[in-house]
């Protein structure tokens, strides 16, 4: 028989972020206007988020 999982499952962060971004883009497509955002700011923000995730991941203990 298969064992039952007793621990809580954590949500997948990548899937959550992707879903939220898809939802935001679909709302903008429905409204018909895209905001005037400089893509360089999106790249810089994405790099900052990735850096923070890597930093937090390196500080957490596994064991």
C-beta pairs of 3-12 under 8 Å, 24+ apart in sequence: none
Domain boundaries, the chain: 13-62
Query: Can you tell me the distance from the alpha carbon of 53 to that of 49, in angstroms, rounded to the nearest whole number?
Result: 6
The answer to whether 26 and 18 have CB atoms below 8 angstroms apart is: no
Residue tagged 């999106």 (tokens):
42
Tokens of 53: 């995730």
pLDDT in tens, 24-41: 877 777 887 766 777 788
The answer to whether 34 and 28 have CB atoms below 8 angstroms apart is: yes
Low-confidence ranges of the chain (pLDDT < 50): none
């Amino acid at each position: 028989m298969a064992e039952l999982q007793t621990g809580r499952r954590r949500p997948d962060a990548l899937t959550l972020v992707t879903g939220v971004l898809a939802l935001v883009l679909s709302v903008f497509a429905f409204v018909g206007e895209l905001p005037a955002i400089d893509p360089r700011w999106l790249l810089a923000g994405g790099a900052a988020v990735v850096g923070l995730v890597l930093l937090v991941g390196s500080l957490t203990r596994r064991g």
